[in-house]
Structure 1
Amino acid sequence: MTTTAPTAALTPTAEKTRGGEGGKRRRPSSRRSTPLTIAMLAALAYFLLPLFWLLIASTKSTQDLFNSFGLWFSDAPQLLTNIKETFTQDNGVFVHWLVNTALYAIVSAVGAALLAAAAGYGFAKFRFRGDRLAFNLVLGAVMVPATALAIPTYLLFAKAGIVNTPWAVILPSLVNPFGLYLMRVYAQDAVPDSLLEAARIDGAGEARIFFTIALRLLAPGLVTVLLFTLVATWNNYFLPLIMLNNPNLYPITVGLSSWAAQAQNGGAGSSSDMFALVVTGSLISIVPLVVAFLLLQRYWQSGLAAGGVKQ
């Protein structure tokens, strides 16, 4: 009488199981995609090459800007000299521009973030007549470019008498439809309804609930909106250009543009260092933004990931 071995021992599944128990677990092989690597390097060069050129150009004189290779240092770098001349040009007007830009950007960013948080929290946690229609209007406002509203805003502010004042730049920057949308999505999951009900049972008012409970839970999204508004206001050019005519109220963007216009009208010979000052001022203007992103990076990343995963 002959005996046959069990067929289960000969199956591939059993062999894999036996091999997995007796041997080491194999690590998945790493895969590399050449086209994706090339695309990543191209995107990296696209974003970093202008910054690298700006850093190199800030160490050159105006003559070296036109006569030397753009992506490398000249024979006589003078970064510290350019920085000193930038801050002392026209009786230190660059310092006024820097302070103005910081004032406009910080006030606008904080105000826009708080307004977006309050409105987004309201849309997410309260139901009222016309709430969907109002939120759809907000989504539609995201599609409207800010430059399209600049001229009507100027006419409105001219009637109100606040043209050529800091409020002409700050007030339009407080409205951030994208920030409101982002905060609404974030508040939907970040603020539990059970926590709000418990606070209401304890007798807390809606304002106290928002400022003491909800606002803390909305901090990552709040920082994200703050950073977006800070960058947008810091780099804003067209709105201050049409709202302000006093050089002492200019932000950095409009001020450096006026220097560039002087350099182009006077030529590189008559304004020997003006082009170098424009480039150096541009480098100085991005340093506060880099510092802000580095300090608030972890909040910004967690805020961007909000709403990406449904629970």
Structure 2
Amino acid sequence: MYDRGLSVLEQYGLETGAVYRGRGALICETGGELVLIREFWGTPRKLEYQAKLLEKVADASPILTDQILCNKEGSYISIDGENIPYIVKKWYEGRECDTRSEEDICKGALVLASLHKVMCMPVESHYVKESLCSEFQRHNRELRKIRKFVCGKRKKNRFEQEFLDTVCCFLGHGEEAVKRLEASDYKELRQAELERGAVCHGEFNQHNVLFSEGEVKAVTNFDKWNFDIQVGDLYRFMRKILEKHQWDLELGKKILTAYHQVRPLSRGEMENLRIRFAYPEKYWKLANYYYTHNKAWISEKNVEKLEKLKDQQEKWRNFVESIFVA
């Protein structure tokens, strides 16, 4: 199983050297460079758009990306002897962004801002992200559905008891976020972003920012790219970092300042960012995971996550209400 997928390198005229395991993929030395090989589960059409996006970034920015390689037949997808589709991408040696390092974090924000300045393409409607209003409303409906389900259980485990103790408060925050969003200029902001063809990375986090010699060397894994308001990327990056730092207000300001230095945020974008932070996304994810997985056995880790969210609630709300004050 270790060399599964290596055979497709013949279709690229590449010779196999040393092989390493990556995240769900193989990394192979070939011709003095690195390539990543992994199974492909998406659609050829979106992959072609992704390849064009990465080519544009390569032409307009010094930031390296994991560009998708064509095989000798000119295709981005290669089929091995077992009829399994693979893609091969350029890869780079480097360490992931250290979430304990403010310097790394701020450099990651700088690079994201630089990418956003060049990431735009003619809009393809199939890849426009669901509107934030629709997403928030759907998540709120799901929380109400889960609450009803848990209330109906005769015997409740520890996770379910903790959920019932907290759901009204967190759902209230979710409903308030919807009201704020509907009262904002979100629709106009989103329309303006779509008109200019703004593209989001879709999964910009510490794992996808590679460093070498103290500087960002490459940004990888654009598979979840989409057309949307680009502050969505900034929100996702900041949320994951700030959860690890107990919603440190000063760190949040430093990240925003770093991004703003390269790509200044408008008042509308700042308001949209604030509303995104005001929605209890991590709480919804945890509840949704519980509802869609085996309920007969609840991981102690998930109980700990729920308790952590409860403990961090005051710091989270203070962050939301304080950092975006003019």
With the length of structure 2 as denominator, give the TM-score of the two structures.
0.21
Structure with the larger strand share: 2
Tell me the TM-score normalized by structure 1.
0.22
More helix by share: 1
Q: Which has the larger radius of gyration?
A: 1
Between the two structures, name the one with larger relative contact order (CA 8 Å, sep ≥ 6): 1
